[in-house]
Amino acid sequence: MSTFVAITISGLALGAMYFLVASGLSLIYGLMEVLNFAHGVFLTLGAYAGWAAAQYLPQQGWTFIVTALAATVAGAAVAAVTELLLIRPLYGKPVSQILVTIGLDLALVGLLLGGFGSDSRAIAVPAWLTAVTTIGSEHIPNGDWLSLGLGLAVLGLLTWFLRYTRYGIIIRAGAENRDMVSALGIDVGRAFTLVFAIGGAAAGLAGLLNSVVFSSALVDPTQGDQLLIFAFIVVVIGGLGSITGSAIAALLVGLVQVYVTFYANGGGLAQLGNMSVVLVLAIVLLVRPRGLLGRTT
Amino acid sequence: MTNVLTRLTQRPPAAETRRSAAGRVAGVVLLVLAVVLPFCSLIVPWVLPGTVDVLNSVGTLEVLGLCFVFAGVAVGYDVLFGFTGLLSFGQVLYFAEGAYVLDIALTVWNWPLLAAILLTLAIGLVLALVLGALTLRGQGIAFAMVTLAFAQAFYYLVEDNPGNLTGGDTGLVMSASRLPGFLVGVGNTRNLYWLALAFLVLTYAVVWLVTGSATGRVWLAIRESERRAEVLGFRLFPFKLGSFVLSSLIATAGGMVYLLIVGTVSPSAVASTTVTISILVMVVLGGAGTRWGAVAGAIVYVYLQQYLLKVAAEPSFASLPAVARVPLSQPDFLLGAIFVLFILFAPGGIAGLVARKKEKR
């Protein structure tokens, strides 16, 4: 039973990290109907920015905050530049927008492979992150708590932002009817850039989190693209454009993956956890083709 | 309904026919050149992807064979994406199925070649029917992502080496014992080259016939507006599934030819999502919905990729400053950048550029 609790917490932690990735994708899709393939390389660049920052920082517990900030800012900056230079000229052409993000991902991952090689780099992490907290008889890695905390914080921030701020209201209105919002004299283009920057910030942070908590503190050029596929699955299960749906789906996917990997490992298939996630997706789509909380129109 | 069908099956206007007549002549000339190429030992400096500067060297023939394989697969993908407007991210699944099942049947089970080919096609057909029926429940982006997910599941499956069939990460080298002699050995590379060319020609002919038929017109109608096509009285699902299955079977056949040329399969080379992305890039680079554009795009893509790898491996390359060396050593970077430029400035791809030039004349 107690193992079950520990497994559950690690599944929720994994789900929280998936949510960080999926929230940005879902937000961008909800407003702009752009499926952002470059999100994968935003994740990777965030992790590399964190790696670079950690190189120059003294190894103390608090400096991890700076590392995380570097990853977040790098993700936001790359995403904003992407929106301005590549997405903006293609407004009104959704397929071209998807294709351009694919090309960008290809090019940037290639550049990272050229610069860093295909070997992984180790990110310096503070001692508290690799330690465990003991609750009752259970040892829970602090990384799991960090992931859960960040997931909750981002969910809270995004919900507050979308519900109560002026730009949040513009974004929600724009997702409903973009033409009407522009007709009211509101600069929707600025909201687009903002949404990309927010999505990129979440991605940068998620990329770092994925490296330090779920990939033994290693970062390599193709890491983000592997993670992106799970984020896509989460977004589709949750319903395209729904942040709450993404959150529920992320936890579901994280739990399924961890339970199957842990309890069905006698099957001899190491990737069974990953494959079962695809099965969940297939079932959800059979029952609800638009995902759990997808819009019906 | 009949009215619509007649309109959909109408011949294109005369100007378009004339224009495509010139294209057809060019196509036939290029095809004849491609057929006789293995007999020409011309020395061509600089531009060949093989290690020797001879036109019919083994290295160059192998690269050209790969170009033809992917050109065929790209034309198949053009049916789905370019003609029917369905953006799938799972095309690699059927390519990988073709390469892996044929390899397993020949190498692990020691089946005769013909039986192995039939088995591979049969599994490919069932897979395409089942997964097509399932994934086509999703619209637009959902369809794209679900196809991606299934392809990824297949990738995990072959990586896991179930029952010691696939060889896991390292892959499975094909055993040549069940192959006819003319397909085995370095001396017979030209036969593999012709096999790949035959695959491309056959694929092109099938796609040309089907996209020109009434079914092809309905596909175009679906691409332009699903809702309108539906209101016109068509049941879209069988047409979409037909497009999906044809496209997938071509990918399966391409996977088989790939295996025969390369002689080995591995998850990263034939089953990973990067292969789907390459196929998509080839089609868009060449010009989606034009058939010959997909061929041109694929040949340019594969050729450049192999050629750039060769250039980056040359000793003089290491003496370049890092600013130039790092980006130039990565074909993916260059191809990705070229692709982005095309999307921004020439969205019709190579075929679009050619058409634009003709219109100016």
Task: Please give the full DSSP string across A32-64, using - where no structure is assigned.
Answer: H----TTHHHHHHHHHHHHHHHHHHS---TTHH
Q: What is the mean pLDDT of residues B338-346?
A: 94
pLDDT at res. B76: 97
pLDDT at res. B7: 47
Query: In sequence order, what are the beta bridge partners of A121?
Result: A219
| pTM for this prediction | 0.91
Q: Which residues of B touch A (CB under 8 A)?
A: 87, 134, 137-139, 141-142, 144-146, 148-150, 152-153, 156-157, 159-160, 162, 273, 277, 280-281, 284, 325-327, 329-337, 339-340, 343-344, 347
pLDDT at res. A253: 95
Q: Tokens 């990735």 correspond to what residue?
A: A21
Q: What is the mean pLDDT of residues A157-181?
A: 89
CA R_g for chain B: 21
What is the Cα–Cα distance from A246 to B213, expressed in whole angstroms?
Answer: 43
Q: Which residues of A touch B145 (CB under 8 A)?
A: 35, 232-233, 235-236
pLDDT at res. B4: 46
In the predicted structure, residue B137 carries a pLDDT above the cut 90: no
Name the least confident of B54-68, B242-256, B288-302, B320-334: B320-334
Residue B27: domain span: 2-7+18-360
Name the least confident of B9-18, B31-40, B106-115: B9-18
What is the Cα–Cα distance from B314 to B309, expressed in whole angstroms?
Answer: 9
Q: How confident is the model at residue A70 (pLDDT cuts 50, 70, 90)?
A: very high
CA distance B264 to chain A (A): 22
pLDDT at res. A231: 93
In the predicted structure, residue B1 carries a pLDDT above the cut 60: no
pLDDT at res. A297: 46
pLDDT at res. A93: 86
- The answer to whether the Cβ–Cβ distance between B134 and A102 falls below 8 Å is no
Chain mean pLDDT for chain B? 90
Domain boundaries, chain A: 17-222
Q: Which residue has the higher pLDDT, A166 or B140?
A: A166
Domain count, chain B: 1
In the predicted structure, residue A143 carries a pLDDT above the cut 80: yes
Q: Which residues of B touch A278 (CB under 8 A)?
A: 149-150, 152-153
Q: Is B299 helix (H, G, I), strand (E, B) or coil?
A: helix
pLDDT at res. A293: 84
Q: How confident is the model at residue B9 (pLDDT cuts 50, 70, 90)?
A: very low
Q: Which residue has the higher pLDDT, A253 or B318?
A: A253
In the predicted structure, residue B15 carries a pLDDT above the cut 60: no
pLDDT at res. A33: 83
C-beta atoms surrounding B177 within 10 Å: 9
pLDDT at res. B258: 97
Whether residue B293 contacts residue B350, with contact meaning beta carbons closer than 8 Å, is answered with: yes
CA distance A138 to chain B (A): 31
Whether residue B33 contacts residue B196, with contact meaning beta carbons closer than 8 Å, is answered with: no
Whether residue A208 contacts residue A71, with contact meaning beta carbons closer than 8 Å, is answered with: yes
Q: Name the strand (E) or helix (H) holding B342.
A: helix B331-345
Q: Which of A278, A281, A288 has the highest number of chain B CBs within 10 A, making it the mutation to test binding with B?
A: A278
Q: How confident is the model at residue B241 (pLDDT cuts 50, 70, 90)?
A: very high
Tokens of B334: 């260059």
In the predicted structure, residue A266 carries a pLDDT above the cut 60: no
CATH of the domain at B258: 1.10.3470
Residue-wise over B44-79: b if at least 16 C-beta within 10 A, else e? eeeebbbeeebbbbbbbbbbbbbbbbbbbbbbbbbb
Query: In sequence order, what are the beta bridge partners of A218?
Result: A122
B13 located within any domain: no
Q: Name the strand (E) or helix (H) holding A122.
A: strand A121-122
Portion of chain A with pLDDT greater than 70, in percent? 97
B177 located within any domain: yes
Query: Tens of pLDDT along A8-51?
Result: 999 999 999 999 999 999 999 888 888 899 999 999 999 999 99
Residue of A nearest to B312 (CA): A114
pLDDT at res. B18: 54
Q: Is A102 helix (H, G, I), strand (E, B) or coil?
A: helix
User: How buried is residue B352: exposed, middle or buried, by Cβ count under 10 Å (0-12/13-18/19+)?
Assistant: middle
In the predicted structure, residue B199 carries a pLDDT above the cut 90: yes
Q: Tokens 């770092």 correspond to what residue?
A: A208
Q: Which of A106, A118, A227, A237 has the highest number of chain B CBs within 10 A, making it the mutation to test binding with B?
A: A106
B137 located within any domain: yes
User: How buried is residue B263: exposed, middle or buried, by Cβ count under 10 Å (0-12/13-18/19+)?
Assistant: middle
User: Count H helices, E strands: chain B?
Assistant: 15, 2
Q: Name the strand (E) or helix (H) holding B173.
A: strand B172-173
CA distance B273 to chain A (A): 9
Query: Tens of pLDDT along B218-230?
Result: 999 999 988 999 8
Q: What is the mean pLDDT of residues B125-149?
A: 89
Q: What is the mean pLDDT of residues A164-180?
A: 87
Amino acid (one-letter) located at A106: L
What is the Cα–Cα distance from A83 to A79, expressed in whole angstroms?
Answer: 6
Total count of residues recorded for chain B: 361
What is the Cα–Cα distance from A239 to B356, expressed in whole angstroms?
Answer: 41
Count of CB pairs separated by less than 8 Å, A with B: 133
ipTM for the predicted complex comes to 0.90
In the predicted structure, residue A135 carries a pLDDT above the cut 90: no
What is the Cα–Cα distance from B283 to B295, expressed in whole angstroms?
Answer: 8
